[in-house]
Amino acid sequence: MHEFDSVAPSAPHATDPRLLANLNPEQLAAVTLPPGHALILAGAGSGKTRVLTTRIAWLIQTGQLSPGGVMAVTFTNKAAKEMIARLGTMLPVNPRGMWIGTFHGLCNRFLRAHWKLAALPQSFQILDTQDSLSAVKRVVKGMQLDEERFVPKQISWFIAASKDEGRRPRDVAVHDEQSRVMQQVYQAYEDQCQREGVVDFAELMLRTYELLRDNDPLREHYRRRFRHILVDEFQDTNRLQYLWLKMFATPPDRAASSSSPGDSDANSVFAVGDDDQSIYAFRGAQVGNMADFEREFKVREVIKLERNYRSFGNILDAANHLISHNEHRLGKNLRTEAGPGEPVRVNEAPSDFAEAQWLLDEARFLHREGSPRSEIAVLYRSNAQSRVIESALFNAGIPYRVYGGLRFFERAEIKHALAYLRLTENPNDDTSYLRVVNFPARGIGARTLEQLQDAARASGRSLHQSVGALGGKAGANLGAFNAMIESMREATHGLTLREIIEHVIATSGLADFYKAEREGAERLENLDELVNAAEAFVTQEGFGKDAVALPVDETAGPGTIADGLPQAVAAVDFTPDAETGEIMSPLAAFLTHAALEAGDNQAQAGQDAVQLMTVHAAKGLEFDNVFITGLEEGLFPNERALADADGLEEERRLMYVAITRARKRLCLSFSQTRMLHGQTRYNVKSRFLEELPEAALKWLTPKNQGFGSGFAREYQQAWQRGSGLGSMVGAGRVESPPAWATPKTRELTVESPAASGALTLRVGKSVFHTKFGEGVVVTLEGSGADARAQINFGRHGMKWLALAIAKLTPID
DNA sequence: GGGAATCGCGTTTTT
DNA sequence: CGCGATTCCC
């Protein structure tokens, strides 16, 4: 089926000496590894991206690889873009033509090229998580299941998780009624997606994997084409991504059987990852893939990049010391030549409010000292923690930026516009149909849609096709909607993408609707922004001008292929059909782009602002000054994560990621009390604080260390201000009961079995229990013999104790 | 069909 | 407590 140009690698050219300059010995070894599968353990701040890009540039410069023979995979669009941008400065070729992208982006390209083999429509559309959930809801409703028992969200999660493990409905384990129904829903969901010509994120991966698995010539073709496969953040790969990778890689036994590696037709996988930064197990990532890779791919070279170019010594000591408490590691220790730097400072606050206040003063101080606000990052374990910090910053008028939340293409008004656009492309997309059939309102109610869905189910056709089944006013309204979609389709024929979108926003009634809305101005702006995004997309991708294969001289070489698939296309989102070269419409391509790249999720960019984000969101970023807040048992480590065995280790890795974000200054803080879910919680400080080396720390609270001069004075003032704010915070020390707490009893005196004599307990007081260790009294109830106390023992959890029996001693 | 009241829930998130 | 989703009522 395929013919290949088996061009042996030419003798290395003289490389640009600047390319390899300033690499340390380990980096150099990684960059210049001979062909063969390799695993690079790249510690935080060790120059990972540099090694990846330099490796590609070096292979190309030395003539071992043509741009068309590269496949580089990342997890995020941001990482892919960065790689492309850096390569652009290193190479005289256009890196946009290389197969560099996210797992999902590359799958999309692959399926666009082989849509027929994959049994998809050429302009199949991609469901994001929201779309997918509403599709599942539709299925569940259609099957008339009890939504209490079969929660759509859970089923949606189950389907995604199954696909992420490579399981089709027939492969899922069925052991009871519940799982049997789940399987049926999964099957029905698949049928529905197939009927509507849509795929969800996991389907992109799974479909690609299966196509390669079941089609030998195709698989062999791609194995020959991609000489070098590079994978970033390998520790975050899930089961399916690992299997997927195996499809592209030459099996190691075949690679080994070749006498000389240089002439072998085997390709090479260059996997880069850091097991200590694996923080996505909750969404299916399997760190075990690293060990599996080493074993199954018979990796000969494991290179560790341990020299850190980011942080000062004390920060690295803290990170190393902390992570050494994990048992399941491949083993790695960061080192620096930058000197110890400032100690890691630790602050204890009486309340979350005071913690925020302290943070605020600290940020002000740093800014006064010349640090840009954008170099100050405030990290927290969960999004709910940002609220107090935000309000403190807001009230003080300090600009800040919160990462997270809705992204551009996920906004309701944008999704609505996209739904109309999708319908002009494919009126049988029921998800989009239901989203906008009555938005803006046009007299199509819930019962009408029930009937329409029943009719569609009965005939096995789409909603759009089933409108004729309904008569009366309802049928007329539906007919009018169909006619509108149809006229949109006709009117936009031949228009530019920009004109199409403008037309649809106007004629759908969306523009008028938001004009009439009191709060619609921002949404209108966003719709304008959608037009701009489309314009930028077209310009950037170069569609319409020269969306054709790049000049041959840029792409020819080993790996040239002969099945009509262009080596490289200027417009990567317009991947042509592998056989016919047909390219999908700009609109379909833009819709794909919108699904695959949800856009920024940071609020108002522009001015210099303090950066607020979760630890997860901070991965891959770095800042001069980092604050890690809320270091309390239950919060960080999070109590819900402690349920499973590996939970604590993942939490610790999360802390490790947080620590290693800091370049110059690291501050840790925790609070004795915190408002959570509408009630005050009394917390014990995080065990992670105990796992840090004392020598690298400087405690700012009197208990552990006195105040000195300079910085410390600042802290003292900040702390006092923070703790002196309003009656809410009271006297500020844990010894006095917080005035704002309203438990049943605030103070209780009982005969203590431990200390012969009276024991006085107060809410907020620390106590020691012979079995559970240190805890904080949360609630007191009853009296005398049946006096009870609820005590938070941190890692041992919240306990109710009978005070007549429990052996408690007070801690001061 | 849409606004108001009520319910329920509350790690982490990219594609 | 604060939110989103659902339900209720006009």
CA of A788 to C1' of B4 (A): 43
- Strand B, nucleotides < 7 Å from a protein CB: these are 1-2, 10-15
Helix (H, G, I), strand (E, B) or coil at A697: strand
A17 beta carbon to strand C: under 7 Å: no
SS3 A287: coil
Closest residue, CA to C1' of B11: A382
Return the structure tokens found at A131. Answer: 């779309």
pLDDT band at A702 (very low <50, low <70, confident <90, very high): low
The DSSP code for A233 is S
A161 is in an annotated binding site: no
Q: Pull the structure tokens for residue A249.
A: 């890689």
Tell me the CA distances in angstroms from A808 to A708, A751, A758, A776, one per residue in order. 36, 11, 11, 11
pLDDT tops 90 at residue A565? no
Which helix (H) or strand (E) segment holds residue A532: the answer is helix A521-541
For the whole model, what pTM was predicted? 0.83
* CA atoms in the 13 A half-sphere facing the CB of A98: 33
Yes or no: say if A724 and A349 are a contact pair by the CB < 8 Å rule. no
Q: How far apart are CA A197 and CA A611, in angstroms?
A: 41
Task: Determine the distance between A534 (CA) and C7 (C1') in angstroms.
Answer: 39
- Quick one: residue A405, left, alpha or beta (phi over 0 = left, psi -120 to 50 = alpha)? left
A277: annotated active-site residue: yes
Of the pLDDT bands very low, low, confident and very high (cuts 50, 70, 90), residue A583 is: confident
> Which residue's CA lies closest to nucleotide B2 at its C1' atom?
A441
Encode pLDDT of A601-616 as tens digits.
655 556 789 999 999 9
Tokens of residue A486, six digits: 């149809």
CB A245 within 8 A of CB A229: yes
Look-up of token digits 């400080």:
A685
By the 8 A CB rule, do A373 and A609 touch? yes
Question: 3-state DSSP call for residue A402?
Answer: strand
Catalytic one of A15, A16, A32, A49: A49
More confident position, A537 or A297? A297
Residue A572 reports pLDDT greater than 70: no
CA separation (Å) from A316 to A45, A323, A376, A471, A567? 10, 10, 18, 72, 44
Q: What is the pLDDT of residue A255?
A: 58
Q: Cβ of residue A678 near strand C, that is under 7 Å?
A: yes
Q: Which residue has the tokens 């690298």?
A: A696
Q: Both tokens of residue A306? A: 């341990």
How many separate helices (H) and strands (E) can be counted in chain A? 31, 23
Task: Please indicate if the annotation marks A460 as binding a ligand.
Answer: no
A776 neighbors A792 (Cβ within 8 angstroms): yes
Rounded mean pLDDT, A584-600? 88
Q: Residue A573 has what DSSP assignment?
A: G
pLDDT value of residue A14: 57
Average pLDDT over residues A428-438: 92
Please state which of the ranges A222-231, A460-469, A665-674 shows the lowest mean pLDDT: A460-469
Q: Is A752 annotated as a binding residue?
A: no
The three-class DSSP label of residue A726 is helix
Closest residue to B9 measured CA to C1′: A677
Q: Is A43 annotated as a binding residue?
A: yes
Q: Cα(A372)–Cα(A664) distance, rounded to whole angstroms?
A: 13
Q: What is the mean pLDDT of residues A42-67?
A: 94
d(CA A333, C1' B9) / Å? 41
- Closest C1' nucleotide to A446's CA: B1
Sheet of strand A99-102: strand arrangement: A99-102, A70-74, A228-231, A268-273, A38-42, A301-305
Q: What are phi and psi of A348, to 5 degrees?
A: -110, 125
Q: pLDDT averaged over chain A?
A: 84
Q: What is the spatial distance between Cα A183 and Cα A188, in angstroms, rounded to a whole number? A: 9
Q: Where residue A253 falls among pLDDT bands split at 50, 70, 90?
A: confident
Structural domains of chain A ordered from first start = 25-116+207-307 (3.40.50.300), 126-196 (1.10.10.160), 344-407+602-720 (3.40.50.300), 409-552+580-598 (1.10.486.10), 747-810 (2.40.10)
Backbone angles phi, psi at A129, to 5 degrees: -60, -40
Confidence of residue A542 (pLDDT cuts 50, 70, 90): low
Q: With a 7 Å cutoff on the CB, does A405 touch strand B?
A: no
CA–CA separation, A669 vs A349, rounded Å? 7
pLDDT exceeding 70 applies to what percent of chain A?
A: 85
Could you tell me which residues are beta bridge partners of residue A757?
Answer: A752
Q: Which runs of consecutive H residues, i.e. helices, occur in A660-736?
A: 687-690, 711-723, 726-729
Q: What is the mean pLDDT of residues A686-708?
A: 77
Confidence of residue A736 (pLDDT cuts 50, 70, 90): very low
Read off the pLDDT of residues A392-410 as tens digits, 9 standing for 90 and up.
Answer: 999 999 999 999 888 899 9
Residue A469, pLDDT score: 87
Distance A137 CA to C8 C1' (A): 22
Name which of A154-163, A267-276, A428-437, A516-525 the model is least confident about. A516-525
Res. A158: pLDDT tops 50: yes
Structure tokens at A754: 């431990």
pLDDT tens digits, one per residue of A15-39: 677 888 889 999 999 999 999 999 9
Does the nearest atom of strand C lie within 7 Å of A447's Cβ? no
The length of chain A in residues reads: 812
A651 CB closer than 7 A to any strand B atom: yes
Closest CA to A57 of A26, A22, A18: A18
Q: Which residues pair with A194 in a beta bridge?
A: none
> Is A714 known to be catalytic?
no
**Catalytic annotation, pick one of A48, A163, A224, A381:** A48
Give the pLDDT confidence score for residue A632 in this predicted structure.
Answer: 96
Would you put residue A247 in left (φ > 0), alpha (ψ -120 to 50) or beta? Answer: alpha
Give the whole-angstrom CA distance, residue A323 versus residue A315.
Answer: 12
List all residues 6 or more positions away from A461 whose beta carbon is below 8 Å from its beta carbon.
none
Which of the following is catalytic: A661, A674, A685, A698? A661
Of the listed ranges A58-62, A161-165, A262-266, A433-437, the one predicted with least confidence:
A262-266
Distance A391 CA to C2 C1' (A): 14
Which of A183, A192, A250, A277 is catalytic? The answer is A277
| Residue A745 designated active-site | no
Two tokens, residue A260: 């000389």
Helix residue ranges per DSSP H, A494-520: 497-507, 510-516
Burial class (CB in 10 A: 0-12, 13-18, 19+), A18: exposed
Beginning with the edge strand found earlier in the chain, give each strand of the sheet holding A788-792 in spatial order.
A798-802, A788-792, A773-781, A766-769, A808-810
Residue A451: per-residue pLDDT: 87
Strand C: which nucleotides have any atom within 7 A of a protein Cβ? Answer: 1-2
- Whose CA is closest to A627, among A357, A350, A278? A357
- C1' (B6) to CA (A98) span, angstroms: 55
- Ligand-binding site membership of A97 (annotated): no
A700-725 average pLDDT score = 41
Angle of the A711-723 helix axis to the A352-368 helix axis, nearest 10:
140
C-beta of residue A504 within 8 angstroms of C-beta of residue A488: yes
- CA/C1' separation A65–C1 (Å): 59
User: Which segment of A139-143, A214-218, A232-236 scores lowest on mean pLDDT?
Assistant: A139-143
- Concerning whether A233 is annotated as a catalytic residue, the answer is yes
Annotated ligand binding at A49? The verdict is yes
Angle at the Cα of A313 from the Cα atoms of A311 and A316, rounded to 5 degrees: 65
The alpha carbons of chain A give a radius of gyration, in whole angstroms, of: 30
